[in-house]
Structure 1
Amino acid sequence: CFTTEILEGFDVHRTSGLFDTVKKYGYLTQSITSYYRLKFPGARNSRACPTYDDFARRCENLEKLTITDVFAVQLMQ
């Protein structure tokens, strides 16, 4: 997996296939988990972070915007 371009401010990573993509997602998940575990050590007990089901339920009714939409709004402010 390697960065091939920067698109709208994001690194675009190309993978060689499904296995490589799943492996990349695994590394990203571990990194995010580790970051928040160190940053918020009491979060597991205090329910500071929603469960995935709660998070998914909250996201269902959100207005979906693309990066281009967000950028356009920022330009107009």
Structure 2
Amino acid sequence: MELSKIKEFTDSELKTQEAQAGEQLFRVRFQKSLGDTAGVNKLRELKKDIARIKTVARQRALGQATAPTESAAPAKKTKAKKA
């Protein structure tokens, strides 16, 4: 799932999507434990989707903008000159 699509969801839709992805993740892990290796790529994608959903939800909870601002970028370190 793309990040732009996730950002369009409402808070309740985010919770629903997270629950559905978690359920799918459980099923894919179960299939993998039975020896079915076809779901390895799906496993990775589901984990990433859940992380993206949680990130967007957390940003909204903190009231942060969805895109980082330039002021939030770390400052460059300058070397002290020896006298």
The structure with the greater share of residues assigned to strand is: 1
The structure with the greater share of residues assigned to helix is: 2
| Larger RCO (CA under 8 A, 6+ residues apart) | 2
The structure number with the bigger radius of gyration is 2
TM over 0.5: no
